[in-house]
Structure 1
Amino acid sequence: MGLTGCGKFGKGFLIVINIIFFILGLGLLIGGILMKVNVSAINDEVKPALNGITVSSFKLGDLVDNLSILFIVMGVFVLLVAGLGLFGACCEVKCMLVVYAILVLVLFIIKVTAVALWFTMKGEVDKTVKFSLLKSLKDNYKTDLINSSSVVSNAWNYMFMSLDCCGVNNSSDFLGFSWTHPGSSTSTPRTCCKNVDSTNYLRPACSSGYNDKGCYDAIKDDISTYGNVFAGVGITVLFIELLAVIFAFMICCQTGKESAI
Structure 2
Amino acid sequence: MEGDCLSCIKYLMFIFNFLIFLGGSFLLGVGVWVLVDPMGFREIVAANPLLFTGVYIILAMGAMLFLLGFLGCCGAIRENKCLLLFFFMLILVIFLAELAAAILAFIFREHLTREKFTRDLKRHYQGHNNTDVFTSTWNALMTTFDCCGVNSPEDFEESLFRLLSPDKMVPGVCCQGNGHPGDAVDDLSRDECQKGSMELRYNKGCYSAVVDYFETYIYMAGALAIVVLTIELFAMVFAMCLFRGIDQ
CA offsets per residue over residues 95-130 of structure 1, 9 Å max, x none? 11111111111111111011111101214348x739
Aligned twin of 2:115: 129
Q: Which amino acid aligns with 1:245?
A: M
Tell me: higher relative CO, structure 1 or 2? Use CA pairs within 8 A at least 6 residues apart: 1
Relative to structure 1, the CA distance from residue 230 to residue 63 in structure 2 (aligned partners, 3 Å threshold; closer, same or farther) is farther
Aligned twin of 1:57: none
Output the CA distance in 2 between the equivalents of 1:142 and 1:75.
32
Aligned twin of 2:141: 163
1:146: how far off? Answer: 3.5
Q: Which amino acid aligns with 1:163?
A: L
Which of 103, 113, 125 in structure 1 is aligned with 2:100? 113
CA offsets per residue over residues 215-234 of structure 1, 9 Å max, x none? 43356569978765544322
Which of 236, 243, 247 in structure 1 is aligned with 2:238? 247
Aligned-pair identity in percent equals 26
Output the CA distance in 2 between the equivalents of 1:180 and 1:158.
18
Output the CA distance in 2 between the equivalents of 1:187 and 1:4.
75
1:31 aligns with 2:30: yes
Aligned twin of 2:208: 217
Output the CA distance in 2 between the equivalents of 1:230 and 1:122.
14
| Structure 2 residues not aligned, in runs of 5+ | 181-185, 192-199
Q: Which amino acid aligns with 1:78?
A: L
State whether residues 173 and 179 of structure 2, in contact with CA within 8 Å, keep that contact through their aligned partners in structure 1: no
Aligned twin of 1:195: 179
1:28: how far off? Answer: 1.2
Q: Which amino acid aligns with 2:66?
A: L
Output the CA distance in 2 between the equivalents of 1:65 and 1:245.
31
Output the CA distance in 2 between the equivalents of 1:161 and 1:188.
12
Relative to structure 1, the CA distance from residue 239 to residue 215 in structure 2 (aligned partners, 3 Å threshold; closer, same or farther) is closer
Relative to structure 1, the CA distance from residue 242 to residue 172 in structure 2 (aligned partners, 3 Å threshold; closer, same or farther) is closer
Relative to structure 1, the CA distance from residue 3 to residue 79 in structure 2 (aligned partners, 3 Å threshold; closer, same or farther) is farther
State whether residues 181 and 189 of structure 1, in contact with CA within 8 Å, keep that contact through their aligned partners in structure 2: no
Relative to structure 1, the CA distance from residue 133 to residue 186 in structure 2 (aligned partners, 3 Å threshold; closer, same or farther) is closer
- Structure 2 residue matching 1:4: 3-state secondary structure: helix
TM-score (norm 2): 0.69
1:161: how far off? Answer: 1.0
Output the CA distance in 2 between the equivalents of 1:124 and 1:16.
39
Aligned twin of 2:75: 88
Output the CA distance in 2 between the equivalents of 1:92 and 1:37.
40
State whether residues 23 and 228 of structure 2, in contact with CA within 8 Å, keep that contact through their aligned partners in structure 1: no
Relative to structure 1, the CA distance from residue 86 to residue 179 in structure 2 (aligned partners, 3 Å threshold; closer, same or farther) is closer
| Structure 1 residues not aligned, in runs of 5+ | 49-60, 197-202
State whether residues 21 and 70 of structure 2, in contact with CA within 8 Å, keep that contact through their aligned partners in structure 1: yes
1:15: how far off? Answer: 0.9
Output the CA distance in 2 between the equivalents of 1:216 and 1:105.
35
Aligned twin of 1:200: none
Relative to structure 1, the CA distance from residue 37 to residue 88 in structure 2 (aligned partners, 3 Å threshold; closer, same or farther) is same
CA offsets per residue over residues 153-185 of structure 1, 9 Å max, x none? x96x44541422423444466689994566x97
State whether residues 41 and 137 of structure 2, in contact with CA within 8 Å, keep that contact through their aligned partners in structure 1: no
Relative to structure 1, the CA distance from residue 30 to residue 212 in structure 2 (aligned partners, 3 Å threshold; closer, same or farther) is farther
State whether residues 27 and 61 of structure 2, in contact with CA within 8 Å, keep that contact through their aligned partners in structure 1: yes
1:64 aligns with 2:47: no
Relative to structure 1, the CA distance from residue 218 to residue 239 in structure 2 (aligned partners, 3 Å threshold; closer, same or farther) is same
When the two chains are superposed, the root-mean-square deviation of aligned CA atoms in Å is 4.3
Relative to structure 1, the CA distance from residue 121 to residue 229 in structure 2 (aligned partners, 3 Å threshold; closer, same or farther) is farther
1:12 aligns with 2:22: no
